[in-house]
A = this chain, B = another copy of it.
Amino acid sequence: MTFKPADPNFAERVRDSFSRQAFMRYLDASLTIIEPGYCEIRMPYRPELTQQHGFFHAGTTAAIVDSACGYASFGLMPADASVLTVEYKVNLLAPGRGEVMVARGHVIRNGRTLKICRGQAFGVTNGAETLCVESLSTIMTLAGREDR
């Protein structure tokens, strides 16, 4: 799908909002790609992010998948809107193995009030990606409430 962003400065607006999410910084997550209706976030492995078997904790992976979907959506919103995740579902398909976890969010329905996204997260080991999480989420535009 191709989307035309409502705001020509969408990428800057998204990066600015992401940089204000203290929790993304605490996870050491970086926003690596932002395009209309698409966002990628990467999070390097650290022992602090693990569950009891030493893999990425599902909570860390789900958090960056949610952020990737939220920012994929936010990029399509008008400049004076905020973004709100209404709900999401994640299926955990494989243990969170890898040197990096990469999350990708895709808008699959670009409604005015609600945007629906498909998200995925892949564990990366020696450049090879394994699908760890598949998600489906609903994101809301809060019109007239600038994010700053």
Contact = CB atoms under 8 A, between A and B. Distances in A.
A58 interface: yes
Q: Is the interface of A mostly helix, strand, loop or mixed?
A: mixed
Contacts of A90: 87-89
B85 A58 contact: yes
A91 B134 contact: no
A33 interface: no
Contact of A138 (B57, B60, B86): B86
Contacts of A94: 109
Contacts of A62: 59, 62-63, 66
A31 interface: no
Interface residues of A, number: 47
The count of identical subunits is: 4
A113 interface: yes
A67 interface: yes
18 contacts: A21-B50, A21-B52, A22-B51, A23-B48, A23-B59, A23-B60, A25-B48, A26-B26, A26-B49, A57-B63, A58-B85, A59-B59, A59-B63, A89-B90, A91-B109, A93-B109, A108-B131, A113-B113
